[in-house]
Structure 1
């Protein structure tokens, strides 16, 4: 939830005399999710853009002024809400695994597959979303959201590194995540899993990770993957 939305929810709670037992932030959280639900319904035809936000707000029964408070960055905020929803769904599924029975390679594989499954729940909006994130002004957002997903998987897998390895692991896994999602969309799950297994084989030796990592690799891979997701090839 945005800082402005937090302020709005607090004001809303004060106006209502705090009659509800729910926390003050619940109004803004619920409103954001309603708008996201409407956006997911509209995006396959409307695309992922400012117009989508206006239409989703209206469908959710909210004014443009409320939308400015809830989603000050418009479609960028919607993209973040969807990515974090997918992360939450993936984490819910991953909690059913007994980590003690899985080697680190298996944990990472299951984490990526869970994130793919979560994204596929909204498969019909992934192409317009990829087209939006592929704009140069949105590349930083795409990188940040993919990093958040990679961090979620590593934390679930039990990673406790706090040195430079913490960042290297997440950078590498971010590249694996976005490229595997692109293959999943373009060629199907069997091809995506083959790609995933090959990528994991290439990076399981951590010294290879560090030796092969270049500053622009992740950004370049992100651009290529978003293009593939957008055009399906």
Structure 2
């Protein structure tokens, strides 16, 4: 590290460099700690520096890749002002799928690693994070139980649609997304006619505790 460089700037630059190297390594090596170490070396870092950059190895890389794809999707999206909510969500999901598909060989390894039981909580957390970013782009300001239900539903669509995209291609994934959005819109229309009850409030409270932790 250049001693004149800001440590945070160095870390961000280093993370991006190692992630880029990891995308080349992952298809052959899998999403593993050995791959993370090799990617660090490919990016020009010593083992000690790589450990500093990625203390949790593949878990850190998994988060970095998800956030890179979130950023790429948001950068590719237009101003949502002229779009209806259904169009916004469709555009957001397709942009996120396109960002992931750009790195498809590595993403297959990434998604397989996140699907393993020990890593599933991180996978769910990253899917929620992606859904939250897309809903914020779409202009969502809900602060009640809808905040959580919208993100939970969209996270599920993102995960399943990505699996379709990787297995069956772009056309099939677009059709899948359209069908799921139609399902959601039908549900939202039904829900709008209902009076929120205790079960829904309890669900929202439970999701809030998962997100923010129990507060004393």
Specify whether residues 67 and 190 from structure 1 end up closer, same or farther in structure 2 by C-alpha distance, changes over 3 A only.
same
Matched, 1:206 2:164: no
Deviating beyond 6 angstroms after TM superposition, the runs of 4 or more aligned structure 1 residues are: none
What is the alpha-carbon distance in structure 2 between the residues aligned to residue 203 and residue 191 of structure 1?
Answer: 18
Show the counterpart of 2:209. none
Q: How many corresponding residue pairs?
A: 194
Superposition TM-score, scaled by structure 1 size: 0.78
Contact 2:114/2:122, CA 8 A, preserved across alignment? yes
Show the counterpart of 2:79. 98
Superposition TM-score, scaled by structure 2 size: 0.84
Where do 1:93-172 residues align within 5 Å? 93-94=76-77, 97-172=78-153
Where do 1:10-89 residues align within 5 Å? 16=3, 19-20=4-5, 23-89=6-72
What is the alpha-carbon distance in structure 2 between the residues aligned to residue 45 and residue 77 of structure 1?
Answer: 19
Matched, 1:193 2:154: no
Contact 1:150/1:174, CA 8 A, preserved across alignment? yes
Specify whether residues 209 and 59 from structure 1 end up closer, same or farther in structure 2 by C-alpha distance, changes over 3 A only.
farther
Q: Residue by residue, what CA displacement relative to the aligned partner does 1:54-80 show, whole Å, maximum 9, x if unpaired?
A: 101111111222222211110010010
Matched, 1:175 2:159: no
Specify whether residues 68 and 24 from structure 1 end up closer, same or farther in structure 2 by C-alpha distance, changes over 3 A only.
closer
| 1:100 Cα deviation after fit | 2.3
| Cα root mean square deviation, aligned | 1.9
Which secondary structure state, in structure 2, belongs to the residue aligned with residue 72 of structure 1? coil
| 1:24 Cα deviation after fit | 3.5
Gaps of 5+ in 1: 1-11, 216-233
Contact 1:172/1:209, CA 8 A, preserved across alignment? no
